[in-house]
Structure 1
């Protein structure tokens, strides 16, 4: 458990100055929303409730406190301190585990229909989905490697319906065996079943047989990016 430091060391030694203004408070509120509340964020970061209230009012936290806040939510330390750079750490996903019972997975507003650049570029976190930490551990999943998006269209109907939510394991971004993956091909995102063929090519399979299969040859595999394996799906009945 991280403990709040009594060290009043100024942050100038880190090489970048923090903001003690409205911008910093807004970012602090942003990560508090990831935790569910300022109280939950304080508990996760090992900060006293009184200290958190001071920071929420514009008080300047120490370097150790900022590091704890960034680490427990998965945000970039530079972003938290200055507002510069990407919000997430490279290759990570916003997450927080406030106790031993639940883990939280970000649901992005991206859909399996179109996407440019990084798969979640310009995508916003709509909410955090709560799963029991035990259920994720049982499946061998690490919360910080997970994210969720929604399915668009009927090409996987029968398995994944339009509007369903799928959870992606970004740690499994290589084709291991026939399974459903979120992929990017021709600047579009798809949730599709992948099958490796004997000649090294990859077959992209739609569950809805109204859509034909697509074969990506071995020489064209650089055009196929596997975002991660689909490990969970859910939707309204």
Structure 2
């Protein structure tokens, strides 16, 4: 805290004391003229002017806490201002000049309390624009690179590829119809099973069952072969 801040606070406190004393005298005179006891008339100014101070400090505390000022604090300040103005004006003579002079102490006391309880907002200085010095480099002569001569590329004719004839694999299936192949395989191995006959004839088992003679027919064929 510097000397200027201390001097301003002392001056403001002195103004508040003078204004408070004048307001105290006016309120005391009004209370006595109203028939109040001396003790009550002596403390009544403290309750009225002190209510303004209490409400102002409460509003300041809410502001520092980033809160909305409480309603009771506003009502306290408003009621204190009205009461002290009314009491001071009532103590003056019934002339406009006297009433204006009587209204000065409460107004001065209120402003002094505001000055003592509040502080100004901090001003953030704007950063000065810094101009950077730009050095311009001298142009440097750059020698052009030699361009390589194009190289002749001999064209190579694509090799001729002779088509390769695909040889087909001979079919492993015997010639003739399915019935003929089944009968040929049956005559070759009469006692073979259906899968064996299907393998020999190159057909499916269902085809073998369709075209292979039944057991009775096979016996007839066998007997005919024996008789021959």
TM-score (norm 2): 0.20
Structure with a larger share of its residues in strand: 1
Structure whose CA Rg is larger? 2
TM-score (norm 1): 0.19
